[in-house]
Amino acid sequence: MKQDPQNKGVNEHSKDRQLEEFRMDNAGKKLTTNQGVKVSEDEHSLKAGTRGPTLMEDFHFREKMTHFDHERIPERVVHARGFGAHGYFQVYESMAEYTRAKFLQDPSVKTPVFVRFSTVAGSRGSADSVRDARGFATKFYTEEGNYDLVGNNIPVFFIQDAIKFPDLVHSFKPEPHNEMPQASTAHDTFWDFAANNTETAHMIMWTMSDRAIPRSYRMMEGFGVHTFRFVNEQGRARFVKFHWKPVLGTHSLVFDEAQKLAGKDPDFHRRDLWEAIEMGDYPEFELGVQMIDEEDEFSFDFDILDATKLWPEEMVPVKIIGKMTLNRNQDNVFAETEQVAFHPGHVVPGIDFSNDPLLQGRLFSYTDTQLIRLGGPNFHEIPINRPVCPFHNNQYDGYHRMTINKGPVAYHKNSMQNNDPSPATAEEGGYVHYQEKVEGRKVRQRSDSFKDHYSQAKLFWNSMSEVEKQHIIEAFRFEVGKVQNKDIKQQVVDMFSNVDLYLAEQIALGVGVKVPDEAAESKVTLSSPALSQMNTARSAKTRKVAILADNGFNYNEVSSVMEALKAAGIMPEIVSKNLGMIKGDGGELEVTKTFLTSHSVMYDAIYAAGGKESAEALKKVPQAKEFVSESYKHFKTIAFGGEGAELLPAEALNMLGQSQTLSDMGIVEIRSGDPSSSKNLINTIAMHRHWGRAI
């Protein structure tokens, strides 16, 4: 693959160029077999007579049917429901002080990337908006080889040692005797596992929080979860954790909204990502790193190698080092999203591993998984997985071999092809493993430093706002309330009394078990503001607004609001009874969605247009008033113009005339001819939710 003449790295389009030979456009082309033989007929199989048996010699039929029979590869056991996009990454400044990884050196280089977002628990056919952790996996096609940053939208994990991963997954998957429930942990086996494996406490706090129901893939953080190492040219190592920070901020759905979206649009998150890229609203994520010097490895009251622990940002600041932009959708979901193979062991010089026992197990498991999913050891040759730099080795043959290896040599050492490895030095570009001293007896044990299961669960609870805490309580009540075994419910309550007694009491009251009399409640008083979504960036850009209108709407009012929204990067859509054009008192606008084809849960804000005739018509449509009342219930911005106020729910109508209350509650009056009201609407949408309504 051609590289930058100044050896400055891989051009952002190099991956596209490499894939070009694999792209096919069949439009207008005559059919052939996979071997290139022109097909004369594709309507009937070859038979012995018109009513006779099909003949085995019909090679076209057998090829076509065999391919169909094998079109579905085994889906991933976890992260089966995924969606991806292409883009590029640029570092802001050289990171040579910390790592020799070339893609982190030159700010002028755009490194191609492919990102796959996913849910964890559900099958490929499950819904996007379920309560679950989300995968956030990034493949960097660097000039030194592929680097995979395989993470989640939650910085910690359920377990500390990879040997328990099969147990964890078996517990949250549908129960084997009846294959229920799908894409949900609200059942007996998961909570039985959780209560008997208390290392899960911290991760469960995250999954019961709003972080487990993100508004969008574009508005969720990503984390490498594990502790890795940066190693620089001098061989100095630092422990490192990776963070993706969405430029739009970190925002979530409310649970009722998430449940309804699962039915109204199970593809909500993938559709949101696809449409944003198609419209040029390219998702952006800044890459941040936390670093700890090796001499400070034991300076904290938690083990930095424990995957159930995070490094509080107030203790170890996140250094923002670059930005990723996703600017191209996939050409084919199967060829790219389904066949992409990630592996935390795909690293480049300058990035190394730690002794985190969960990470160590993943370094085996991922390759083993790809062998069965993608049909053998040559999954790296599938176009989406191929590096952009040349690769050479003595590996031949195997299922689905795509390269045609020349010459007689398939072994090392040899003198016939002179293809020895690069010298094992950093100067020559060879990957050199960090020389960490390791000694000890072979044991099946875990370090005592991993035994604290509750302190950071308490830290997370302390860091939540009152609204976020209430959401966590409600999530526990829903999940544990679905458990049939009363003993398991009691075990869960007793477990979380070690985190916070009030939390345990509220769970117990909701699920009908005994409130703990006493508890060894965690005494942690620290909090981390970075963990609360109340402290995230807020932007109205790329938000969606439903404008409810019908014939007789106030054209000047609506058209001016739409113009202001579009200028702010917000997407307005006219929603009414029927598709087509509606007439206002000065012009026409096109209805793009109806009350049957859309719902309030698909929008970030609602605007009921002014105009007496329009308001009167919509008042007779139950779905129109439901649109507004549901939005109010979900704490979204609600705007109205003139007579549009008649669509507001009673709680909102009671506030009219109280300008300060309206602003606090996310209700905006649009005054025709007053540009400041549109500006107020945009600022209010940027707030995401208006939790004052919950009081």
Give the active site residues: 79, 152
Separation CA 494–CA 501 (nearest Å): 9
Please provide residue 101's backbone torsions phi and psi, each rounded to the nearest 5 degrees: -55, 120
- Give the closest residue to 203 by CA, choosing from 81, 120, 287, 129: 120
Q: Are the CB atoms for 183 and 127 separated by under 8 Å?
A: yes
Return the structure tokens found at 654. Answer: 């009671």
| DSSP 3-state of 354 | coil
Sign of the CA dihedral with 651 first, then 655, 660, and 666 last: positive
Three-state DSSP string of 94-106: CCCCCCCCHHHCC
Separation CA 430–CA 476 (nearest Å): 50
- Beta-bridged to residue 237, according to DSSP, are 231
- Beta-bridged to residue 353, according to DSSP, are 228
The residue whose two tokens read 């759905």 is: 253
Q: Which residues contact 239 (CB under 8 A, 6 or more apart)?
A: 227, 228, 229, 291, 292, 293, 294, 297, 304, 354
Helix or strand run (H / E) with residue 387 = none
Write the DSSP symbol of residue 163.
G
- Give the closest residue to 270 by CA, choosing from 348, 226, 330, 191: 330
Give Cα separations from 673 to 276, 385, 561, 646, 681 (angstroms).
31, 55, 10, 20, 14
Separation CA 168–CA 171 (nearest Å): 5
Q: Which residues contact 615 (CB under 8 A, 6 or more apart)?
A: 608, 609, 642, 643, 644, 646, 647
Give Cα separations from 54 to 49, 61, 68, 377 (angstroms).
9, 9, 18, 36
Residue environment code for 48-80, b if the CB has 16+ CB neighbours within 10 A, otherwise e: eeeeeeeeeeeebbeebeeeeeeeeeeebebbb
The answer to whether the bond into 413 is cis (omega within 30° of 0) is: yes
Q: Which residues contact 5 (CB under 8 A, 6 or more apart)?
A: none
- Give the closest residue to 520 by CA, choosing from 538, 499, 535, 542: 499
The residue whose two tokens read 């060879």 is: 430
- Beta-bridged to residue 246, according to DSSP, are 285
| DSSP 3-state of 199 | helix
